[in-house]
């Protein structure tokens, strides 16, 4: 009986051992399956196209939670345990390496965006005090559009840049709004100033010294140039009255018509030089004069061709011949004055360049 009892006890003990190892095997198999599922979840994340900071943050939380779950599971079967760990670590490493590469590229892009937005900010700062309302309003709209098209800088830089850029834009548009709110009132004041100045020119009595008298008249047109715009309906009338008053005084001090034309043109150039768009306006003036010169040369060539058809000896009293010769003389005079104007424009442009260079130095 004792032998039988021993055998039964031994058999029961071995059964418990077998049951224990079977349970352990089953548990490790479940751990293996759970860990394989976790690896697949990480691989599924790797297949996603993550393009934004928020997406990467969300998926990082998911991977970290998966890693926590991994630790909650015990060993896998011995022959699989090391390999399953290597597979899991490789998948996680791949995720974090991609994340690192994304943020490296993101920082580089943010740096580039910061530099681009700083350029726009500098441009806005340089233009915010301009009173060339129409042109600058379009320019600011372009800057704002470009700003929106550029991606964000780093959060701290983005807030600072946007605050400064918005302030520059608001400064310009607020000034523009204020200006046009009182535009009619200012133009009416300017009209009164110009009409009063015209009367002072009419009342001016030359002293007989042409140099002094010319200096006095120059002071009048310098004052005129500083007065702003008048109402549109009065613009031509008041300009005509001003020019007639000046020309009358030029006649009184003995200036020739040619000298008057040069002086009036010089007056115009000085007005352009003092304007806010001096470079652009002078460039446009030069182009118009160059186009005029080209047109006059073509006209002169046409008249001279017509002249060649006449026999001058036989047609001295021919009215058509006389008309062509008059046209040639007139065109030559116009061409000469146009070439003088071109020279004056170029000199004015050079003065602007030298002034800008001196200001930089």
Q: For residue 218, with 0-12 CB atoms within 10 Å meaning exposed, 13-18 middle and 19 or more buried, which class applies? A: middle
Cα 337 → chain centroid: 39
Q: Which domain range does residue 203 map to?
A: 183-255
DSSP string covering 309-344: TS-TTT-TT-HHHHHHHHHHHHHHHHHHHHHHHHHH
Q: Closest Cα to residue 26, out of 76, 64, 70, 96? A: 76
* Residues 58 and 45 both lie in one domain: yes
**Overall number of domains in the chain:** 4
99 and 38 fall within a common domain: yes
Residue 5, pLDDT score = 79
In a domain, 308, yes or no: yes
Question: Is residue 10 located within the same domain as residue 87?
Answer: yes
The rounded distance, in Å, linking the Cα atoms of 143 and 171 is 14
Neighbours of 245 (CB within 10 A): 20
**Domain ends where: 82, 106, 130?**
106
With respect to residue 310, please indicate whether it lies within any of the assigned structural domains.
yes
Q: Which two tokens stand for residue 35?
A: 């860990």
Residues 236 and 164 in one domain: no
Do the beta carbons of residue 277 and residue 132 sit within 8 Å?
A: yes
Percentage of residues of the chain with pLDDT beyond 90? 66
- Say if 198 falls within a structural domain: yes
Buried b / exposed e across 32-55, counting CB within 10 Å, b at 16+?
bebbeebbebbeebeeeebeeeee
pLDDT-derived band at 20 (thresholds 50, 70, 90) equals low
Q: Are 183 and 206 in contact (CB under 8 A)?
A: no
Q: Are residues 178 and 215 in the same domain?
A: no
Cα separation of 269 and 346, whole Å? 10
Do 283 and 210 lie in one domain? The reply is no
Its pTM stands at 0.56
pLDDT at 233 over 80: yes
pLDDT exceeds 60 at position 314: no
Q: Other C-beta atoms within 10 Å of 168: how many? A: 21
What's the rounded Cα separation, in Å, for the pair 231 and 184? Answer: 7
Are both 123 and 97 inside the same structural domain? no
- Would you say residue 75 lies in a domain? yes
- Based on its alpha-carbon atoms, the radius of gyration of the chain, rounded to whole angstroms, reads 44
For residues 52 and 10, membership in a common domain is answered with: yes
327 within some domain: yes
> Is residue 210 included in any domain, yes or no?
yes
* Residue 61 within a domain: yes
Q: pLDDT tier at 127 (50, 70, 90 boundaries)?
A: very high
252-297 pLDDT tens trace: 999 888 888 888 898 889 888 887 788 899 999 999 999 999 999 9
One domain, residues 128 and 100: no
Q: What is the mean pLDDT of residues 10-32?
A: 81
311 pLDDT more than 70: no
Whether pLDDT at 9 is above 90: no
Task: Look at residue 14 and tell me whether its pLDDT is greater than 90.
Answer: no
Examine the fold and report which residue of 144, 161, 182 is the final residue of a domain before the chain moves on: 182
* pLDDT of 312 higher than 70: no
130 and 98 within one domain: no
Residues 211 and 199 in one domain: yes
DSSP summary character for residue 275: S
Single out the residue in 131, 151, 182 at which a domain terminates.
Answer: 182
290 in the same domain as 348 = yes
């Amino acid at each position: 009986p004792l032998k039988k009892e021993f055998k039964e006890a031994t058999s029961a003990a071995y059964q418990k051992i077998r049951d224990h190892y079977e349970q352990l095997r089953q548990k490790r198999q479940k751990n293996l399956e759970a860990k394989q599922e976790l690896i697949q979840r990480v691989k599924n994340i790797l297949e996603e196209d993550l393009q934004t900071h928020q997406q990467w943050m969300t998926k990082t939380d998911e991977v970290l939670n998966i890693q926590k779950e991994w630790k909650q599971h015990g060993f896998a079967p011995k022959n699989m345990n090391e390999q399953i760990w290597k597979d899991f670590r490789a998948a996680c490493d791949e995720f974090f390496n991609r994340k690192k590469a994304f943020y490296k590229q993101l920082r580089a892009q943010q740096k580039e965006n910061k530099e681009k937005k700083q350029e726009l900010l500098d441009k806005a700062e340089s233009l915010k005090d301009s009173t060339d309302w129409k042109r600058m309003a379009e320019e600011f709209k372009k800057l704002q559009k470009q700003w929106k098209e550029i991606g964000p800088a780093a959060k701290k830089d983005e807030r600072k840049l946007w605050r400064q850029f918005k302030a520059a834009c608001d400064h310009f548009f607020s000034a523009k709004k204020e200006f046009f709110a009182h535009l009619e009132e200012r133009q009416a004041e300017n009209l009164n100033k110009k009409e009063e100045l015209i009367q002072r020119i009419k009342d001016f009595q030359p002293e007989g010294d042409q140099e002094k008298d010319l200096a006095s008249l120059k002071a009048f047109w310098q004052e005129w140039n500083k007065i702003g715009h008048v109402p549109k309906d009065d613009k031509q009338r008041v300009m005509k009255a001003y020019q007639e008053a000046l020309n009358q005084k030029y006649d009184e001090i003995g200036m020739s018509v040619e000298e008057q034309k040069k002086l009036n043109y010089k007056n115009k150039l000085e007005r352009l030089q003092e304007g806010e768009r001096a470079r652009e306006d002078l460039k446009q003036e030069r182009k118009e004069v160059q186009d005029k010169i080209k047109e006059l040369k073509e006209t002169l060539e046409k008249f001279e061709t017509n002249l060649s058809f006449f026999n001058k000896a036989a047609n001295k009293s021919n009215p058509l011949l006389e008309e062509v010769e008059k046209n040639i003389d007139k065109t030559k005079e116009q061409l000469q004055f146009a070439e003088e104007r071109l020279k004056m424009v170029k000199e004015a442009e050079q003065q602007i360049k030298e002034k800008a260079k001196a200001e930089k130095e």
